[in-house]
């Protein structure tokens, strides 16, 4: 490694949990005396935190590893995360010095140093079927206003299309006291909004004695200086009357909920091995909309699942219109080797899946515009995050981007919403 001060660059693919894990690893490098540089710059060490949710994510993970070595062939390359967990030995062939999956990330610097010292490629990947929660910690995050707090790891749902339980392992939860301590560190560093993240957030606490998701929410809400709280994702069955009522009593909870759907067709949901019906989902959505009037509901929609008929696809789109989502993340089905869906009959052609994805995205755009139009004329509190093109930009409680002149990054200010702006809103400071 060259230079007076060693440098490290990170590329993070995938979910908010990966963002958290990358920050925790970055802080280990900073503590060891490294300086961070952008991933497109020359660095002594490149860390790629990989993703395998879709074939595209897996392909991009490999591309970024190759790109790093093209930028600096003498650099030390670290592959972490889900692709590292899944294909550790294959990644060695790309010239990776250290492969660390979804465990041992807290020891990333020591493991890398040892590999370099011995001139070897090290694979620090082991079975994650029965391991404790890895005690990663962060004290800051990119940006100066919002931070992710990881409270849970792993999933035991084994939905037919999903590879994540195989690479993230079983459910492991973080102790509420530890969550509260991290929230205090982040609040002291100036973060005013916290996002609770996990691989299957709704399972939080099932492996702990006397702890549930609401306890983690309360642990963070009790920290002075935290003005906003969000849940990164919820399963519909978790949005029970008792849970939603408890959330409504916590003033920091924002009226925006990501309620995982995947399909609005009961037939497809059964084949996906999702554990709810469209009617049960709708009941949870209506409960949230009733208790949090005007709340933004967002979701994931997977189109082109094996055997999905035109009628089932139409049912799914009609259901999305009925719910009235503020935004939808649309994904065409991606075959993942090792999952039940990979071997299901009725695999749809790529062109048909892409066509259905385009149609669903068009619906998402329409629903989003309709929801945002409903906010025009209202007064919203906006947590501003940055100045861009002479305007302050931040987010409303519904997690809609708002642009306004005169806003101050890091401050929560009252804004009169005057119209739409791109995929967000514009307004004037009150």
Structure tokens at 292: 């949090």
Rg (CA), the chain: 22
Contact residues for 277 (Cβ-Cβ < 8 A; gap 6+): 266, 269
Rounded to an integer, what distance in angstroms lies between the CA atom of residue 56 and that of residue 223?
39
Cβ(413)–Cβ(384) below 8 Å: yes
Interior angle at CA 163, CA 159 and CA 167, nearest 5: 125
Structure tokens at 334: 């991606």
Cβ(379)–Cβ(418) below 8 Å: no
**Class of the CATH domain delimited by 7-124:** alpha beta
Cβ(286)–Cβ(321) below 8 Å: no
Please spell the DSSP secondary structure of 303-329, one letter per residue.
E--TT--HHHHHHHHHHHHHHT-SEEE
Structure tokens at 13: 């693919």
Contact residues for 422 (Cβ-Cβ < 8 A; gap 6+): 401
Q: 379-429, superfamily in CATH? A: Nucleic acid-binding proteins (2.40.50.140)
Rounded to an integer, what distance in angstroms lies between the CA atom of residue 149 and that of residue 230?
10
Q: What does the domain layout of the chain look like in residue ranges?
A: 7-124, 146-371, 379-429
Rounded to an integer, what distance in angstroms lies between the CA atom of residue 408 and that of residue 425?
17
Rounded to an integer, what distance in angstroms lies between the CA atom of residue 167 and that of residue 61?
15
Same CATH fold, 379-429 and 146-371?
no
Give the chain's largest Cα–Cα span.
65
- pLDDT in the model for residue 77: 98
The residues facing 415 across adjacent strands are 380, 429
Rounded to an integer, what distance in angstroms lies between the CA atom of residue 211 and that of residue 174?
10
- pLDDT in the model for residue 131: 86
Structure tokens at 80: 């972490």
Rounded to an integer, what distance in angstroms lies between the CA atom of residue 103 and that of residue 124?
8
Q: Which CATH number fits domain 146-371: 1.10.10.10, 3.80.30.20, 2.80.10.50, 3.40.50.360?
A: 3.80.30.20
CA distances to 157, 168, 203, 404, 420 from 234, in Å: 13, 18, 9, 31, 28
Rounded to an integer, what distance in angstroms lies between the CA atom of residue 137 and that of residue 326?
32
Rounded to an integer, what distance in angstroms lies between the CA atom of residue 350 and that of residue 247?
41
Q: For the whole model, what pTM was predicted?
A: 0.94
Rounded to an integer, what distance in angstroms lies between the CA atom of residue 226 and that of residue 156?
32
Classify residue 200 as exposed, middle or buried by CB count within 10 Å of its CB (0-12, 13-18, 19+): buried
Q: What is the pLDDT along the chain (430 residues), one digit of tens a residue?
A: 445 799 999 999 999 999 999 999 999 999 999 999 999 999 999 999 999 999 999 999 999 999 999 999 999 999 999 999 999 999 999 999 999 999 999 999 999 999 999 999 999 998 887 788 999 999 998 777 899 999 999 999 999 999 999 999 999 999 999 999 999 999 999 999 999 999 999 999 999 998 999 999 999 999 999 999 999 999 999 999 999 999 999 999 999 999 999 999 999 999 999 999 999 999 999 999 999 999 999 999 999 999 999 999 999 999 999 999 999 999 999 999 999 999 999 999 999 999 999 999 999 999 999 999 999 999 999 999 999 999 999 999 999 999 999 999 999 999 999 999 999 999 999 9
Please spell the DSSP secondary structure of 76-130, one letter per residue.
EEEEEEHHHHHSHHHHHTTT-SEEE-SS-GGGHHHHHHHHHHTT--EEE----SS
- pLDDT in the model for residue 3: 52
Interior angle at CA 282, CA 276 and CA 284, nearest 5: 80
């Amino acid at each position: 490694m060259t230079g007076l001060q060693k440098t490290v660059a990170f590329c993070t693919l995938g979910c908010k949990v990966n963002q958290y894990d990358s920050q925790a690893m970055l802080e280990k490098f900073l503590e060891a005396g490294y300086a961070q540089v952008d991933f497109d710059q020359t660095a002594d060490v490149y860390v790629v935190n990989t993703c395998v949710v879709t074939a595209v994510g897996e392909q991009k993970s490999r591309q970024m590893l190759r790109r790093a070595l093209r930028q600096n062939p003498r650099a030390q390359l670290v592959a972490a995360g889900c692709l590292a967990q899944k294909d550790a030995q294959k990644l060695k062939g790309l010239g990776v010095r250290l492969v660390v999956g979804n465990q041992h990330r807290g020891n990333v610097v020591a493991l890398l140093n040892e590999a370099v010292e011995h001139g070897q490629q090290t694979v620090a990947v082991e079975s994650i079927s029965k391991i404790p929660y890895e005690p990663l910690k962060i004290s800051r995050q990119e940006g100066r206003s919002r931070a992710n707090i990881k409270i849970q790891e792993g999933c035991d749902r084994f939905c037919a299309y999903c590879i994540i339980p195989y690479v993230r392992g079983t459910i492991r939860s973080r102790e509420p006291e530890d969550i509260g301590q991290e929230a205090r560190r982040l609040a002291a560093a100036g973060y005013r909004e916290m996002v609770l993240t996990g691989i299957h957030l709704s399972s939080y606490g099932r492996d702990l004695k006397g702890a549930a998701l609401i306890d983690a929410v309360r642990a963070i809400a009790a920290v002075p200086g935290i003005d906003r709280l969000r849940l990164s994702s919820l399963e519909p069955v978790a949005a029970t009357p008792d849970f939603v009522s408890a959330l409504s009593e916590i003033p920091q909870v924002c009226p925006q909920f990501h309620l995982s759907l995947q399909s609005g067709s009961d037939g497809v949901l059964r084949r996906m091995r999702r554990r709810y019906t469209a009617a049960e989902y709708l009941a949870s959505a209506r409960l949230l909309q009733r208790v949090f009037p005007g709340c933004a509901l967002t979701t994931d929609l997977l189109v082109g699942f094996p055997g999905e008929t035109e009628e089932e696809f139409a049912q799914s789109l009609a259901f999305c219109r009925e719910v009235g989502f503020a935004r939808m993340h649309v994904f065409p089905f991606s075959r993942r080797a090792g999952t039940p869906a990979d071997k299901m009959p009725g695999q749809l052609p790529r062109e048909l899946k892409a066509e259905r994805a385009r149609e669903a995205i068009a619906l998402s755009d329409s629903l989003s515009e309709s929801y945002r139009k409903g906010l025009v004329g209202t007064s919203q509190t906006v947590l501003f995050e940055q100045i861009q093109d002479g305007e302050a930009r931040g987010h409303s409680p519904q997690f809609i981007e708002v642009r306004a002149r005169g806003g101050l990054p890091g401050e929560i200010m009252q804004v009169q919403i005057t119209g739409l702006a791109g995929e967000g809103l514009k307004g004037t400071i009150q």
